[in-house]
Chain A
Amino acid sequence: MAIIVYERAQSAVVDAALIAPILMMILMVGYIIASSNTNVFFTERNEKRFAEDLTYSMLKSTIRYVWYYDSSGNLIILEDKTIEHLISEDLYLRSVGGADIATLKMGLEEKINVTLRNMTYPIYEYSLHASYHGVHFVIGSGVLPDNRISFTTYIDMPQNNDKAMITMYVWRVR
């Protein structure tokens, strides 16, 4: 006599327990890949270039006129000077105490600030740091966000054949 026995010890519960975690893991990996931000790498490259080009464009630009009072109280007006020249003049005057700082801020640095704002509005915010032998001033935002791009260069100080350091920080606001 032939005896046929069907063994059904493994049920669909086991199949489900094996397959469900694998499917859930695939879903999680897919979600992680999809939610990663691919834009970051590409825009960082573009924004580094932007910071560099903004710095050089700014330095080349001329301003119709700026003014300040020197330490003797005389009104000084400078016409058609490049921003590179104006920054070096500002740093030199600050280092030798040759001008009233408040008027330098109003009559010279604010004009540079307006120029930079016009060149970057409405996409970027900026902060320009200029320093020379312990003398330092900032144009633009005084608070730097964590997510920013910077570019540093050196400009000539024609007054004493030295160099001053310029650092431009930019970050996207739109």
Chain B
Amino acid sequence: MWVMSMKISMNDTGTSGFFEELILFAVVTILFVSTLTMAAYYGSTKAEEYAKVEFINQVYDFVQKVRGYERILHDSVEGLFDYHKIKGYNSTEMHNLIARDLAPSFNFFINITDCSDYVIKYNATFGTPEDIKYGYYKVVVIYPVNIWVNDHEVHPAKLEVIAWR
């Protein structure tokens, strides 16, 4: 018969055995899985970092907008807050006005600290940081500003913005 006349042979020269190949297969598989895992990890770490940097930049941009917030400026000079305009609003009113006019995409609390050597200090706060503990990201930016009291008194001050989302 034809089937009976067929001869099957195998040339095994230079090949490894089944168990050696199994070990190599395991090594390559582990490397492959490690690569995928690390790529996923690096990717998520990088995405997280970019999100944080993006948030920091948004807060810095917001700080610049607050420094130029016309409602509290003296003579429209950026960073020169008019004490007499600030004291016309209470803390919550001013917070709500800033939130409405500047529309930040995060929660915020503003603290203006008079750091002059004058006896009378003109500090101000806008809002309350009560639900800050629920924030996933929290950024604090401190920025130099001035408080105009009169033409002879311009106090150096710190604008502190605490932002969270």
Contact = CB atoms under 8 A, between A and B. Distances in A.
A120 B44 CA distance: 34
Interface in B97-122: 115-119
A12 B16 contact: yes
B121 to A, nearest CB: 11
A8 B15 contact: yes
A58 B154 CA distance: 10
Contacts of A50: 143-144
Contact of B9 (A3, A24, A30, A61): A3
A119 B158 contact: yes
Contacts, number: 150
Contact of A54 (B2, B34, B144): B144
A111 B117 CA distance: 9
A96 interface: no
Given A118-B115, A120-B144, A16 B79 contact: no
Interface string B62-102: 00100100000000000110000000000000000000000
A167 interface: no
Given A38-B49, A57-B145, A115-B117, A16 B24 contact: yes
Contacts of A58: 144, 156
Interface stretch (A39-47, A100-108, A128-136, A148-156): A39-47
Most buried by A among B50, B144, B145: B144
A9 interface: yes
B102 to A, nearest CB: 18
Most buried by B among A1, A30, A114: A30
Interface string B127-145: 0000000000000001111
B38 A27 contact: yes
A31 B53 CA distance: 19
Contacts of A19: 28, 31-32
A34 B46 contact: yes
B5 A2 contact: yes
A173 interface: no
A80 B115 contact: no
Interface in B141-160: 142-146, 152-158
A20 B6 CA distance: 41
A33 interface: yes
Interface of A: 1-9, 11-13, 15-16, 19-20, 23-24, 26-27, 30-31, 33-34, 38-39, 42-43, 46, 49-50, 53-54, 56-58, 60-64, 80, 82, 111, 114-115, 118-120, 123
Interface of B: 2, 5-16, 20-21, 24-25, 27-28, 31-32, 34-35, 38-39, 41-42, 45-46, 49-50, 53, 56-57, 60, 64, 67, 79-80, 115-119, 142-146, 152-158
